[in-house]
């Protein structure tokens, strides 16, 4: 769309069709079905709140089709639906543990094969097989926040098989800082449960594409699979998106300052942040990984317990800060050998900075590291 508006402005102004009462904010259409004559039909197919959310997401991602589904995992599962027996699914070796688990389960059920490679390695890109139907990767990656060159992967994938689909999980970069479709990806998926929601109070997933054939395919599948987002979650996500750019910029500022602070603590061997090249990734904020060195390597539990402003558990990418151990949490589904192969150990800590005052978070981190001494 060439209206000269910034995508964030367009997202803010997205409105679903209403009945002419012109409310400032679109109300919740908590209705399973719509009467004959309505532009809507049945909420498993479409719903005004879901449509408004999708318009806002399409504006942010800069694409023709954005489909809202129940969770980020559902978005990935829908995409895997294009696989046919004999196909090869290629994925990057650094991925969210449940995504890898889903791929491993699906290849068995669908009689396809899974190839786990380092997509940031040009030599591995040159060896992508012609039977590859899907190549899926996160950038930046969970864990370690490494970036994968989208354009290079897309070029290599199309060389190997012009019909291959390049799928980027852009959850952690968010569409504010990265738009993979501009760099050759065919599909972008997001866990909307993370920064797009930003409040840890709703689950959702998104499938984005510029291609009309894929948009129609996923829309039809979603209807028959019943994977669409419910109106209330869509309404909450629409509300969240209104402050999304503001939240992300605040997360970014805090992250830059606290990452510098973290590097100065004796137990910290490494702080992982993605490379912001200004082209593929134009910014980043919210989540960092901290590698603890010996003799503090095994002290995650003490560190987490000493923090008072960081909640433990699976929540992340929200207005309040969290701390987690990927080894026992997000990547618990990987076996020991898989964890070792990617260098994931008990000393890796995931910190998500919320919107608390940055000085308070700095004080809390300083106190917690002092407690480890």
Chain residues binding ligand PLP by CB under 6 A are 71-73, 96, 99, 138, 142, 169, 171-172, 191, 193, 203, 205, 330
User: Closest-CB residue for ligand PLP?
Assistant: 72
Q: How far is the CB of 95 from ligand PLP (least distance, A)?
A: 7
Comparing CB distances to ligand PLP, the nearer of 90 and 203 is 203
CA 84/CA 29 separation, integer angstroms: 37
Burial of 81 (0-12, 13-18, 19+ CB in 10 A): middle
Give the residue with the Cβ less far from ligand PLP, 95 or 154: 95
Closer CB to ligand PLP, 189 or 368, in the complex: 189
Measured from the CB atom, is 267 or 274 closer to ligand PLP? Answer: 274
Q: What are phi and psi of 270, to 5 degrees?
A: -155, 140
Query: Of the candidates 288, 282, 201, 289, which has an alpha carbon nearest to the alpha carbon of residue 249?
Result: 282
We find the least distance from the C-beta atom of residue 224 to ligand PLP, in angstroms, to be 20
* Distance from C-alpha of 76 to C-alpha of 73, rounded to nearest angstrom: 5
Question: Residue 68's CB: how many other CB atoms inside 10 A?
Answer: 29
- Nearest-approach distance from CB 58 to ligand PLP, in angstroms: 19
In angstroms, the CA 60 to CA 7 distance is: 5
Is the separation of the CB atoms in 133 and 84 below 8 Å?
yes
CB of 189 to ligand PLP, least distance (A): 7
Report the nearest approach of ligand PLP to the CB of residue 182 (Å). Answer: 20
- Closest to ligand PLP by CB, 97 or 215: 97
Nearer to ligand PLP, 169 or 186 (CB): 169
CB 295, min distance to ligand PLP, A = 30
Q: Which is nearer to ligand PLP, 92 or 183 (CB)?
A: 92
- Shortest separation between residue 204's beta carbon and ligand PLP, angstroms: 7
> Could you tell me where the DSSP H helices lie in the chain?
7-12, 48-61, 72-80, 97-110, 122-125, 150-160, 174-177, 212-225, 231-242, 244-262, 300-306, 336-341, 358-372
Burial group, residue 308, by CB count within 10 angstroms (0-12, 13-18, 19+) = exposed
């Amino acid at each position: 769309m060439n209206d000269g508006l910034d995508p964030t402005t367009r997202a803010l102004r997205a409105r679903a069709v209403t009945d002419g009462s012109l409310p400032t904010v679109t109300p919740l259409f908590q209705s399973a079905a719509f009467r004959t004559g309505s532009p809507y039909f049945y909420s498993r197919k479409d719903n005004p709140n879901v449509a408004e959310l999708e318009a806002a997401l399409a504006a942010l991602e800069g694409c023709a089709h954005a489909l809202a589904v129940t969770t980020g995992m559902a978005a990935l599962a829908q995409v895997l639906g294009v696989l046919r027996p004999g196909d090869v699914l290629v994925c990057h070796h650094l991925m969210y543990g449940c995504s890898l688990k889903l791929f491993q389960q699906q290849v068995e059920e669908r009689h396809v094969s899974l190839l786990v490679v380092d997509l940031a390695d040009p030599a591995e890109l040159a060896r992508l097989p012609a039977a590859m139907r899907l190549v899926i990767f996160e950038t930046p990656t969970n864990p370690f926040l490494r970036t994968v060159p989208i354009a290079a992967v897309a070029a290599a994938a199309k060389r190997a098989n012009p019909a291959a689909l390049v799928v980027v999980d852009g959850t952690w970069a968010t569409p504010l800082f990265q738009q993979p479709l501009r760099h050759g990806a065919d599909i972008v998926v997001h866990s909307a449960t993370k920064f797009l929601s930003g409040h840890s109070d709703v689950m959702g997933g998104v499938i984005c594409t510029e291609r009309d054939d894929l948009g129609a395919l996923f829309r039809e599948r979603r209807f028959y699979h019943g994977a669409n987002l419910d109106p209330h979650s869509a309404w909450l996500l629409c509300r969240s998106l209104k402050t999304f750019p503001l939240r992300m910029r605040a997360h970014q500022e805090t992250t830059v300052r606290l990452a510098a602070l973290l590097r100065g603590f004796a137990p910290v061997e490494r702080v992982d942040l993605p490379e912001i090249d200004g082209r593929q990734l134009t910014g980043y904020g919210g989540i960092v990984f901290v590698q603890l060195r010996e003799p503090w390597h095994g002290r995650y539990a003490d560190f987490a317990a000493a923090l008072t402003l960081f909640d433990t558990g699976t929540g992340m990418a929200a207005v309040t800060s969290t701390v987690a151990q990927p080894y026992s949490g997000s990547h618990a589904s990987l076996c020991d050998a898989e964890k070792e192969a990617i260098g994931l150990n008990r000393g890796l800590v995931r910190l998500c900075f919320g919107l608390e005052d940055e000085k308070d978070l700095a004080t809390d981190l300083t106190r917690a590291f002092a407690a480890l001494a």
